[in-house]
Amino acid sequence: MPLEPDKPLYFKRALRKRCPQCGEGRLFRGFARLHESCSSCALRFRRESGSQTGAMYFCAAVTEIFAALLAVGMFLLTDWSLPVALTVGTLLVLAFSYVFLPVSMAFWTAVEYSTDVSNGESWVEPRA
């Protein structure tokens, strides 16, 4: 029978950029450069090619929502010309996307891990 995942714990650990399984090892070796596995418990973060595709889609979706809210906010709250609004908006959206990418990668790592725990995969060892 599959284990019941403690999803809030896994997401809390991952969003602190720590291994969702043990909470000890670091997820990243640099900015948005995911380690292959945890240095503490050896959980593999990238078991297959394309395992972070979901993180890219998640980052893109959240960035698009940010861009839409920013566009509405700039339209309602400023009287900038179109070229100025496009320049400022583009720079802000690019900066947001850059900063949000590691967050989305950490979030997606927790999604994959909690799914693996729910499915009772042999390579996961949930810890409190």
Residue 31 pLDDT > 70, yes or no? Answer: yes
Strand pairing category for 33-34 and 28-30: antiparallel
Q: pLDDT grade, residue 1 (50/70/90)?
A: very low
Among 12-16, 43-47, 56-60, 104-108, where is mean pLDDT lowest?
43-47
Whole-structure pTM value: 0.86
pLDDT(5) > 70: no
Reported as a pLDDT band with limits 50, 70 and 90, residue 4 is low
What local confidence, expressed as pLDDT, does residue 30 receive?
93
Could you tell me which residues come within 8 angstroms of residue 126 by beta carbon, excluding any fewer than 6 positions away?
3, 5, 6, 21, 117
- Supply the mean pLDDT for the chain: 91
Residue 47 has pLDDT above 80, yes or no: no
